[in-house]
Structure 1
Amino acid sequence: MDSHTKSKDSAVCHEICQSHKNKVIKFFCTNHEFLGCKDCIALNHRKCQIDHIEDKCAGIGDSEEYKTTLIELEQKIKAVDAVIKKATLQDKEVDSTYDHVIKEIVKFRKEINDRLDQLQKQILADAEKKKPEDKETVKKVLERCTDLSSDIKNFKSKLQENKTSQQDGQLYIMIKQAKSKLNMDDLKNAEECLEQTDTLCTFERNKELENILTTHNAFGMLKPFATPMTPGKKSVSVKLTDKGEINIKTQSDRNGCQITDCAELSSTKLLLADYNNCKLKVVDTQIKAVVEEKALNSAPWCIAVLPEDKIAVTVPDKKKILVMAIAGKFSIIRRIPVKGDCRGITYRQDHLYVLCLGSKCVLTVDTHGKVKNIISLKNEIFVNPYYVLLSEDARYFYISNQGSESVVVVTLQGDISAVYKHKDLSAPLGMMMLDDGSLLVCCYCNNTIHHTSGDLNEGQTILDSGLQNPWAIYYNHQDQEVYIGGYCNQLKIRKVASTV
């Protein structure tokens, strides 16, 4: 009796109908998947297939429908959490993007002001230089005319004196001398000199600049940009074809070359970090030869090119960044100490971004060494993060990560946005970005180059021969050529071609 009573009580419904507040929900319309009271069914669902809940609910806690519903709810919770995480991330990105935009606007205005100040200074200097030159010309003309006037007045006076004193012989001589003086071109020359000197000038505005300033978007505009996380963004397939190689081993090298980074000094010159020989080497890509080298006290790892003919080089053994001038001979300007085994380095807008292997972080420092920010890489995904590549919009880092054999995208706030893994991605090291935003990654262990889309959704091996432990890679956008270095005495050259 108790069991029967409990079973009957468990089937009783207590949910109040939303349409009829004094009624309890007792029925379910299977046609319209509608829960309602007796009045709801009588008014709107007379012809439908109706389940009486008290008759149908027995044992539903053990049913497949119950289990499936729990699973679907759990999946929905995870989907909602994912959207919440994405929205939270985008909320942070709104702040960082706004800050970045403001900095860019202010920086651009400063660059314009500095350039206009420079141009103004230049034209003022031209004006200041012209003024004394013109005044000196006029002064010489005045002096010449003053002397000529004095001579003529002197002749006139002497002629009158000789006439009065009846000194005819002397008068004859003075007349001839005076006529000779009158025949001279002194006055004509002075007048021509004056005419040829543009002593008067005016300032003519640069019409192109004036027209630019009158246009609507003369200063610039805000526009959306494609981020590496844009859904559906795919890269164009590429192919690398052999274009030869450059011998980079020099007579003074004691060891085989180990190129850990490549950087562009000019359209025809590359700077290589030769870790094994503790050297920086300049390669001329036109004559295909090493044209300069700089021996260091310790092995260089990665290079960032700075403005005003300067570079920054990480030296892991010394836990330092060397800031060097490259004009003339390489010379060290500054040594920046780093707490950790510094590896990859990149530069953007007066800041260096340095990947530290031991402490697993990316340091943001200015070129004087002051730490501005620390981005932690404490996530378990990071085993041996070696190289860092900043996205074009400066909102993300691509980090090559040995050990977990992956490439990871991290925001400037330290959040992981994407992780790329592939069976062929073996010991990823140096990376570079193609024109479409996709990446080429050096795979050290299997001697390949891997190509992945900017959103890290897809990728494939595109070069698997002719390489020896590829480590560093550089892309010449103008010539669309890739230069690859590694544990090899040759710098490999490959032509980039798009494929359908």
Structure 2
Amino acid sequence: MAFGGSSIYKGSDLIHDYSCSKCEENDFNTEAQHFCPECEHYLCDKCVRIHGEYFKKHVVYGRGDIQKWAGFSMDRCDQHGNKLEVHCDDHQELCCHVCVSLNHRLCSSISHLPELARGFLKSAEFKQLPAAVDKIKSRLDELKNAKMKDKASLNDSYRNILAEIKALRKELNQILDKLEQKTAEQLDSMMKELEKSLKDDIETCSHMNELLKIMMDKFRQIAEKNKETNCYVGHRKFQTKLTEAQNLMHEIQGKPGEALRFTSNISIMPFLRNLHMFGATEIVISLAKRLDSDYVFLGQGSKTYSVRIKKDRNTCKIMGICELPSRDLVIADSNNKRVKLLDRKCKVTAHLDLPAHPKHLCHTTGSEIAVISDDDKIHEIYILIVTRGQLQVSRKISTDHSCISIAYHQDQLYICSDSTLYRYTMDGQLVKVIKKNMLIWKCAVSPDGERIYITAFSGDKLITLDKNGQVLSKLRDSELKYPSGVCVSPSSHVFSCGFESKSVVQVDREGKQTLTTVAMGSNGLTCPMSVWFSEHTSSLIVGNGDDSIVAIKMC
């Protein structure tokens, strides 16, 4: 082992896991039995007594609390607690004398730390350390914030799924109540029919019995007068009535006996018993990890999907797209006044009609979407929720101004008219007018809420504002002619589409420059009006104005 300088061993050659710091200063190698975290000194039995006389208020831990010994010390070995003295060049490790004895005896090159550190304070590496640490700390803060948002989103999805389970149970109860009601109604109908038949027979027998009694009383009165003619006539009438009574008795007796019997639907109970749950909950794994915001994407391939359904009378104009945690898509078909739900294969599975044109939409939390419904007289925002594959209206917000675009961030809705940007609460209360007197087509908000991106369709500009409405940048680009849709991914990647240029560009997060053109007409873009980036599938979804959407695989 090549090693320059004096021996690293002081005093005896005994190896201790922790050596007394004070004894080491006097070239003695004594095993430490105590540790003072305030002094960051390891102490033997003799030195701890002297330490106690000078520092009576210091808390000292013995061997019984050895787990508390490993305080963070920059110049101490993390494993043995001894002072770091050398550097193993073979393993690129800082070592104390115990490390060398146990793990580095056979290493070819070990250097003294004072020799390696000579002139280090003037080096660029030393001077750049604070900036490097700040950069990593900033990245860690961003990652922490992203994970906190993931946690909030997870809690939202949990609450939404729980609500969906309860809604399913309520729907099942309603179905069972309806089945019970119909079964009971059938029973009531049959019961009434049988009761009426029996009641009629009872009344018929009673009526005939009463009639025979009356006739017999009159016949006896006639017989007492001994008038043969009258008795003969009465007898003949009585015979006729008795024959009628016998026929009636035969008729009633001839009726089959009727009773009620219930046979349950045997398919219900086994089916329910075989069910283990109402449905399956799955963990949706993102196929694309969160990337740095300056990562530049490249379009790898595209596929066009028709979103037209039989009920559509007009050409589908897709003014807004968003993705749910389930990876289903929701699109705003403005021309047909219709919101459509698409499965993972981009097939329309459900739709909901609105009273006015859905100009834009955005995802809020869980399975909830906010949709603008606007025309000359109606200025409304519908909060929709997806339950069991169906779009349902949760609530409605009305405004006194036109609405053409909407974005969501931390329980706030950013709503644009054609010239003003507003911020509302989720229950429809106006919080702030962020910016007035500007051309607006679509808007999107960065994940941290610090930037708002606005497309000015007629002005050929992508405008970036801070959260207070101050203009940070204005971007013009030949690849972004008549900018229409804009979106920001959860990792802060910014995309905007040009209606006339038939393209989608990626823009840096400051909104100052175009990084790349990720899609164009050759990818199936005919008249792009909206755009969404899916981190689940690393795909860019573009809404055209010709009955189609285009999915572009990104890499």
TM-score by length of 1: 0.51
Q: 1:460 to 1:195 in 2, by over 3 A?
A: farther
Contact in 2 for aligned 1:356/1:362 (Cα 8 Å) = no
Q: Which residue of 2 aligns with 1:402?
A: 455
Contact in 2 for aligned 1:141/1:193 (Cα 8 Å) = no
Cα offset, 1:30, TM superposition: 0.3
Q: Which digits, 9 at most, give the CA deviation of each residue in 1:134-166, with x for residues without a partner?
A: 322322222223334445666777888888955
Q: 2-side partners of 1:38 and 1:472: how far apart?
A: 62
1:88 aligns with 2:148: yes
1:364 aligns with 2:426: yes
Contact in 2 for aligned 1:301/1:344 (Cα 8 Å) = yes
Q: 1-side partners of 2:320 and 2:79: how far apart?
A: 73
Cα offset, 1:33, TM superposition: 1.9
Q: 1-side partners of 2:204 and 2:143: how far apart?
A: 90
Contact in 2 for aligned 1:442/1:471 (Cα 8 Å) = yes
* Aligned ranges 1:60-459 → 2 under 5 Å: 60-63=120-123, 65-66=125-126, 73=133, 76-150=136-210, 166-167=228-229, 170=233, 173-174=236-237, 177-178=240-241, 181=244, 184=247, 186-191=248-253, 195=257, 198=259, 200-202=260-262, 204-215=263-274, 217-220=276-279, 222-226=281-285, 238-240=303-305, 273=334, 301=359, 314-315=373-374, 320-321=379-380, 337-338=398-399, 341-343=402-404, 355-357=415-417, 358-361=420-423, 364-365=426-427, 384=440, 386=442, 402=455, 427-429=483-485, 444-447=499-502
CA RMSD, Structure 1 to Structure 2 (Å): 6.4
Contact in 2 for aligned 1:29/1:35 (Cα 8 Å) = yes
Q: 2-side partners of 1:495 and 1:17: how far apart?
A: 61
The code of the aligned residue for 2:244 comes to: K
Contact in 1 for aligned 2:441/2:454 (Cα 8 Å) = yes
Contact in 1 for aligned 2:442/2:454 (Cα 8 Å) = yes
Q: 1:227 to 1:359 in 2, by over 3 A?
A: farther
Cα offset, 1:236, TM superposition: 9.4
Q: Which has the higher contact order (CA 8 A, sep 6+)?
A: 1
The code of the aligned residue for 2:137 comes to: I
SS of 1:147's partner is: helix
Q: 1:20 to 1:461 in 2, by over 3 A?
A: closer
The code of the aligned residue for 1:359 comes to: L
Q: 1:317 to 1:133 in 2, by over 3 A?
A: same
SS of 2:426's partner is: strand
Cα offset, 1:49, TM superposition: 0.3
Q: 2-side partners of 1:57 and 1:343: how far apart?
A: 63
The code of the aligned residue for 1:364 comes to: M
Q: Which digits, 9 at most, give the CA deviation of each residue in 1:372-410, with x for residues without a partner?
A: x98x9989xxx957389xxxxxxxxxx99635869xxxx
Cα offset, 1:446, TM superposition: 3.3
Q: 1-side partners of 2:381 and 2:75: how far apart?
A: 73
The code of the aligned residue for 1:444 comes to: F
Q: 1:38 to 1:171 in 2, by over 3 A?
A: closer
Cα offset, 1:28, TM superposition: 1.2
SS of 1:342's partner is: coil
The code of the aligned residue for 2:109 comes to: Q
Q: 2-side partners of 1:465 and 1:91: how far apart?
A: 37
Task: Tell me which moved more, 462-471 or 41-50.
Answer: 462-471
Contact in 1 for aligned 2:462/2:483 (Cα 8 Å) = yes
Contact in 2 for aligned 1:303/1:313 (Cα 8 Å) = yes
Q: Which digits, 9 at most, give the CA deviation of each residue in 1:210-240, with x for residues without a partner?
A: 34554563445644235697769x9995234
Identity %: 15
Contact in 2 for aligned 1:385/1:400 (Cα 8 Å) = no
Q: 2-side partners of 1:153 and 1:122: how far apart?
A: 46
Q: 1:210 to 1:281 in 2, by over 3 A?
A: closer
The code of the aligned residue for 1:427 comes to: P
Q: Which residue of 2 aligns with 1:57?
A: 117
List gaps (5 residues or longer) in structure 1: 1-13, 250-256, 264-269, 283-292, 305-311, 324-333, 389-398, 407-422, 432-440, 451-457, 474-481, 487-491
The code of the aligned residue for 1:60 comes to: F
Cα offset, 1:461, TM superposition: 4.9
Q: 1-side partners of 2:126 and 2:221: how far apart?
A: 140
Point out the structure with max Rg over C-alpha. 2
SS of 1:96's partner is: helix
Q: Which residue of 1 aligns with 2:15?
A: none
SS of 2:380's partner is: strand
Q: Which residue of 2 aligns with 1:308?
A: none
Q: Which digits, 9 at most, give the CA deviation of each residue in 1:429-455, with x for residues without a partner?
A: 499xxxxxxxxx9853335799xxxxx
Q: 1-side partners of 2:131 and 2:361: how far apart?
A: 51
Q: 2-side partners of 1:335 and 1:96: how far apart?
A: 20
Q: 1:59 to 1:465 in 2, by over 3 A?
A: closer
Q: Which residue of 1 aligns with 2:392?
A: none
Cα offset, 1:426, TM superposition: 6.7
Q: 1-side partners of 2:255 and 2:453: how far apart?
A: 73
